[in-house]
């Protein structure tokens, strides 16, 4: 049986895989430059980062799975929220607006240290936020969700 490497430091990605009974043999945090390139569109950024994460893994044999999520409005890309203050700023920016969530995955099959198969997929979801009251934002901030997540929020089904 071949190894499966998850090229991600995201606990949410691991949780999503485990929810469909996929258990990676190893989880490795990729070390790549995640800066947006000049004039790079958000959907292209998500695809590039997912592929760069997968390509940064050096294995002899197995499968590598990676992903990236980019949150954007028409004019701005929102990074991961690193603090409670950033989550609040992002939520205020999203209040009453439509945003795009670009989720990209990349998968590589490796044999003898070389890529023998690869694939990528991008899915874009549009979310329309209602206007948030100050109290609603504070309630969300008090839940301690959002820090470390692209755009400062996560959708649950």
**pLDDT for residue 156:** 60
CB 64 within 8 A of CB 54: yes
* Cα gap 92→127, rounded to integer Å: 15
Which positions are catalytic?
A: 68
Q: How many helices (H) and strands (E) does the chain have?
A: 4, 6
pTM attached to this predicted model: 0.87
Q: Give yes or no for residue 138 having a pLDDT over 70.
A: yes
* Cα gap 121→106, rounded to integer Å: 7
**pLDDT for residue 157:** 46
In order of 4, 10, 54, 128, the CA distances from 29 in angstroms are: 14, 8, 10, 32
- What is the pLDDT of the chain when averaged over all its residues? 91
Give the count of beta carbons closer than 10 Å to the beta carbon of residue 115: 12
**Band of pLDDT at residue 11, cut at 50, 70 and 90:** confident
Q: What pLDDT digit, counting tens, does each position of 87-132 carry?
A: 999 999 999 999 999 999 999 999 999 999 999 999 999 999 999 9
Which ranges of 82-123 does DSSP label H, i.e. alpha helix? 84-94
CA-wise closest residue to 150 among 36, 27, 40, 64: 36
**pLDDT for residue 59:** 92
């Amino acid at each position: 049986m071949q190894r499966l490497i998850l090229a991600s430091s995201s606990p949410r990605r691991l949780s999503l895989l485990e929810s469909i009974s996929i258990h990676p043999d190893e989880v490795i945090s990729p070390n790549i430059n995640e800066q947006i390139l000049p004039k790079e569109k958000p959907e292209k950024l998500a695809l590039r980062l997912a592929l760069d994460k997968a390509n940064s893994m050096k294995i002899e044999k197995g499968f590598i799975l990676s992903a990236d999520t980019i949150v954007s409005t028409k004019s701005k890309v929102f990074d991961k929220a690193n603090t409670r203050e950033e989550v609040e700023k992002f939520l205020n920016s999203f209040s009453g607006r439509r945003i795009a969530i670009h989720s990209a995955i990349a998968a590589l099959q490796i044999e003898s240290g070389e890529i023998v198969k690869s694939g990528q997929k991008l899915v874009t979801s549009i979310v329309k936020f209602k206007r948030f009251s100050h109290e609603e934002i504070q309630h969300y901030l008090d839940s301690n969700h959002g820090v470390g997540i692209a755009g400062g929020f996560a959708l649950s089904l």
